[in-house]
A and B are shown apart, each in its own frame.
Chain A
Amino acid sequence: MPNKTAAVQLKRRRISPSKIITYIILSLWAVTTIFPFIWVIINSFKERKYILTQSFALPIGELFTLNNFTETFEKFAVGPAYRNSLIISGTVTIAVIIISGLCAYGMARYNFRGRKILQTLLIASMMFPVFSTIIPVFSMQTKWGIVNNTVPLSWVSVILPQIAGNIAFGTVVLMGYIRSLPIDLEEAAYLEGYGVFRIFFRIIMPLAKPSFATIAIFSFLWSYNDLFTQMFYLRSADYFTITRLLNEISSQSGGTNHGWMAAAVVIVVIPVLVVYVFLQKNIVKGLTAGAIKG
């Protein structure tokens, strides 16, 4: 918040009707963003037949049940789906950090011919809608034999396109951050006999930690939530991720098993909610940093 003069502050401290209206409007929107989630969580603990007949009752007494969850866990491979999601999105995150970190450092610190063109390419890469590349990527990876293959190879078939989709964003955000770092430390290290790679891993990476954290979180969430790519490459239940499984549950419940639907939403939302509560500052900053620079 900018520092305003004492006079302004004094005036602001009084509770005026306009301030009350402000809070009411802001709270109304907050209710629309929180309430649907609370509703789903509450109803996932209710007997299926009560979800829509008594949708605002609390799950107490005979309404309460854990059946929706036990049934979902029994009928669908929720555990393995968590594992698959963790492996796929974890690998994407680590690869994006390293690859875009290296690229950002090269772009930020070196002078070379063609720098401008590469920078334009980076910005352009952020604009490619996934629709315009997915079919050729699919046939390319089919030729390599990694699509619909054994479990580890099928993971790879999702991981590689997802890495590619996040590199440009990561590089652009990191480039801005690295440029803002003073070069003195690197020069001092160089005089101490550090090579340029040691400088990158030992000095730049620790210094740019907040920026790297933002990119890590964002890549992870993006990969975890990206249904479109997962629909193309994950077609057999063995390698379903959580998001892909959710789509499966939604089509298998035929839109009538409200218990499964509510439980499935909760299963997907809870891990993200936990991550969000702890890391929301980094997440909010990161998404806008990418947007404003792009």
Chain B
Amino acid sequence: MHNNSMIFKKKTPLLVFLVPAFAFMAVYLFYPFVMNIINSFSDIPSLGASSKGWLDPWYSNYQRLVTDPYMRTAFVNTMLMMLCTIVFQVGIALILAMLVDNIRRGSGFFRTVYFFPIVISATALGLMFNLLFWYDTGPINTILLQFGWDHLVNWKEDHWMFTMFTPVMWQYVGYYFVIIVTGLNNISPDVYEAAEIDGATGMQVVWRIKLPLLYNTLCTCLTLAITGALKVFDLPWTMMPKGIPLEKSWLTGTYMYKYSLGGANNIGYSSAIAIFIVILGVLLSQLANRIFKEKDY
């Protein structure tokens, strides 16, 4: 893979190739990340101001983190979001991908259509779903009435979790769909031919061939679902700002925002929540990788 061509013997041009990118990342990712850890132990009066020294005790933000009941709410909601992401986003995507794999006509169309919500800003989607779920006579309630529902549902108050999770799930199904379809296309036709000769039924092909051969692809999806669920911000913030109703709908991301720009001003605490998000992401994706080790075929 590495080559020893004459062109690349002289190493000085390498500086021009690498320095801009790594300088950018050093200044805008690595340095701020370290600063963020330091900030979480420091007393910072306001956003953009410099630190007034260490907190006393230095770990007090983390102490608060474990006792804060709303942080617990945010944590539980985020974990539920992650679980739903894995079960519904990846699950629905898997079923749709298996179905598309059986047809020829229209598979391109379905891919294009399923993927579309991902390129739309979550802010616009949040606003759109605000209208769709509108209480009292929004379109969803109108449809339900047509189908014999006996009352109008106050979605954002009484079913806030469903109302907040559904759009997030819906938006990203297409993403996992495309990844799984790519995985299915990578399965060698020889395998199917062999199965055909052995007289395997359609269901057997799914369970004995497609699913096992998709194992690595599904591992990728799992990691993406874990890290993705921790990054969700725009859609919940547009639909359920400030934890409405009654501070029940916080997620770790929106709760972190609350303490920087979202009303409550506590930069150190906000930084501590951000660190918590990172640690959670690293731990859970490592755990998932341990349990579901990628296989070589």
Report which A residues bind B (CB closer than 8 A).
Answer: 1-5, 7-8, 12, 18-19, 22-23, 25-26, 29-30, 32-34, 36-37, 39-40, 43, 51-53, 55-56, 99-100, 102-103, 105-107, 109-112, 118, 121, 125, 127-140, 142, 147, 160-161, 163-165, 167-168, 171, 179, 183, 186-187, 190, 196-197, 199-200, 221, 224-225, 227-228, 231-232, 243, 246-247, 250, 255, 258, 261-262, 264-265, 268-269, 272-273, 275-276, 280, 283-284, 287-288, 291-292
Contact = CB atoms under 8 A, between A and B. Distances in A.
Contacts of B134: 52, 258
Nearest to B37: A132
Q: Which of B6, B21, B193 has the most CB of A within 10 A?
A: B21
Give me the 10 closest cross-chain CB pairs, A-B, nearest first.
A106-B17, A164-B28, A2-B189, A103-B21, A225-B121, A136-B35, A136-B32, A142-B48, A133-B32, A131-B274
Nearest to B49: A139
A18 to B, nearest CB: 8
Interface in B114-162: 114-124, 126-132, 134, 136-139, 142
Contact of B111 (A111, A121, A225, A284): A284
Contacts of A187: 5-7
A37 B124 CA distance: 10
Contact of A197 (B8, B13, B257): B13
Contacts of A33: 113-114, 116-117, 170, 174
A196 B18 contact: no
The SS class assigned to the B binding surface is helix
A292 B179 contact: yes
Contacts of B119: 221, 225, 272, 275-276, 283
B256 interface: yes
A51 B134 CA distance: 11
B281 A129 contact: yes
B102 interface: yes
A99 B142 contact: no
12 contacts: A2-B187, A2-B192, A8-B193, A103-B20, A129-B253, A133-B28, A135-B39, A225-B120, A227-B122, A227-B123, A258-B131, A264-B127
B33 A132 contact: yes
A102 B114 contact: no
Contact of B238 (A29, A111, A247): A247
B111 A227 contact: no
B178 interface: yes
Interface stretch (B64-72, B81-89, B92-100, B288-296): B92-100
A173 to B, nearest CB: 13
Contacts of B275: 132
Contact of B16 (A197, A224, A225): A197
Given A135-B260, A268-B124, A287-B118, A255 B3 contact: no
A7 B1 CA distance: 41
A138 to B, nearest CB: 6
Nearest to A31: B113
B31 to A, nearest CB: 7
B112 A284 contact: yes
A103 B22 contact: yes
Given A22-B102, A135-B271, A164 B124 contact: no
Contacts of A246: 121, 123-124, 127
A26 B104 contact: no
B105 to A, nearest CB: 9
B283 interface: no
B175 to A, nearest CB: 7
B20 A2 contact: no
A261 B132 CA distance: 11
B217 to A, nearest CB: 8
Contact of A110 (B11, B103, B192): B11
Q: Which of A30, A51, A133 has the most CB of B within 10 A?
A: A133
Contact of A102 (B16, B178, B233, B277): B16
A183 B5 contact: yes
Contacts of B112: 280, 284
A264 B148 CA distance: 33
A44 B230 CA distance: 33
Contacts of B227: 127, 129
B85 to A, nearest CB: 14
